[in-house]
Chain A
Amino acid sequence: GESVGLHLPTLSVQEGDNSIINCAYSNSASDYFIWYKQESGKGPQFIIDIRSNMDKRQGQRVTVLLNKTVKHLSLQIAATQPGDSAVYFCAEKIIGNEKLTFGTGTRLTIIP
């Protein structure tokens, strides 16, 4: 699910399977990264974040991986559920800076 301009990438996953959503970030100076989940008609909801001094961070059913060498971020969701269906955005910033830059998002659909 790489961001590819104006068309929202999509990913369909069978319920119960694991999903991986990818994101290429743009600024090599960014040192803070965050994943948001946005359900239809709602605002973005925080999922998990990671700082550049880490390459992996785990939450409940979610894991974020950071590869600074190739400026790549991924979100792994384990044992997907229907409620995981949403658009997922990665975002990057420089710690202390006010500006958070968003990727274009990936639409995840969980197939029952």
Chain B
Amino acid sequence: NAGVTQTPKFQVLKTGQSMTLQCAQDMNHNSMYWYRQDPGMGLRLIYYSASEGTTDKGEVPNGYNVSRLNKREFSLRLESAAPSQTSVYFCASRNRGGGAETQYFGPGTRLLVL
């Protein structure tokens, strides 16, 4: 199993450009999450999807949209990138039910917005 995979690993954008960050998991998990991590801070939840076909806002959703394409894939879109969105983005997944609470993380996408 590859676990949680993310593409791209690195990206540089100019202000106003758009892009989509891709995330996939092969663990048959129900829930998927997008976080951002800024220097000196812990991870902050952007959006999550508790199951295929549902998405909900997290702590810092402004400027982002998400799509739960199927059970495996959960994408994060920046429609008009801003320098404040320079960050490291992590995707995670979790298997709901049976007392499973642990979230498993991907390797991250490092985004620089100029």
> Interface on A for B, CB 8 Å cutoff?
6-8, 32, 34, 36, 41-46, 49, 89, 91, 93, 95, 98-100, 102-105
Q: Which of A45, A49, A89 contacts B101 (CB 8 A)?
A: A49
Question: What residues of B have a CB within 8 angstroms of the CB of A6 in the complex?
Answer: 40-41
Question: What residues of A have a CB within 8 angstroms of the CB of B64 in the complex?
Answer: none
Given known contacts A93-B101, A98-B50, is B40 in contact with A43 (CB within 8 Å)?
no
Is the Cβ of B42 less than 8 Å from the Cβ of A103? yes
Is the Cβ of B58 less than 8 Å from the Cβ of A99? yes
Is the Cβ of B40 less than 8 Å from the Cβ of A44? no
For the complex, give the distance between the alpha carbons of A110 and B67 in Å: 41
Residue B43 CB within 8 A of the other chain: yes
How many residue pairs, one in A and one in B, have C-beta atoms under 8 Å apart?
Answer: 51
Cβ-closest chain B residue relative to A102:
B42
Residue B70 CB within 8 A of the other chain: no
Given known contacts A6-B40, A98-B48, A104-B41, is B102 in contact with A49 (CB within 8 Å)?
yes
**Inter-chain pairs besides A43-B107, A95-B101, A104-B40, 4 sampled, C-beta below 8 Å:** A34-B102, A44-B105, A46-B102, A102-B42
Question: What residues of A have a CB within 8 angstroms of the CB of B108 in the complex?
Answer: 41-43
Q: Which 7 A-B pairs rank lowest in CB-CB distance, beginning with the nearest? A: A102-B42, A43-B105, A102-B43, A6-B40, A44-B105, A104-B42, A43-B107
For the complex, give the distance between the alpha carbons of A36 and B35 in Å: 14
